[in-house]
Amino acid sequence: MYSITLYMNESTIYKKLSDFFTPDHLQVINDSEKHKGHSGSPNTGNSHFSIIIKSDKLLSINRVAGQRLIYNVLKDEMQNGIHALSIKIIS
**Where does the pLDDT of residue 80 fall: very low under 50, low under 70, confident under 90, or very high at 90 and above?**
confident
**Which pLDDT value is given to residue 43?**
54
Q: What is the maximum alpha-carbon separation in the chain?
A: 44
**Which pLDDT value is given to residue 27?**
97
Average pLDDT over residues 1-29: 81
Show the DSSP H helices in 1-91 as ranges: 10-21, 56-59, 63-73, 75-79
Instruction: Classify domain 10-89 by CATH architecture.
Output: 2-Layer Sandwich (3.30)
For residues 50 and 38, which has the higher predicted lDDT (pLDDT)? 50
- Give the Å distances, CA to CA, from 36 to 6, 20, 84: 20, 30, 12
Task: Of 12, 21, 20, give the one whose Cα is nearest residue 54.
Answer: 21
- Give the Å distances, CA to CA, from 68 to 12, 24, 42, 55, 63: 19, 19, 23, 14, 9
Question: What does pTM read for this prediction?
Answer: 0.79
**Domain ranges for the chain:** 10-89
Residue 10 has pLDDT above 70, yes or no: yes
**Where does the pLDDT of residue 40 fall: very low under 50, low under 70, confident under 90, or very high at 90 and above?**
low
**Which pLDDT value is given to residue 24?**
97
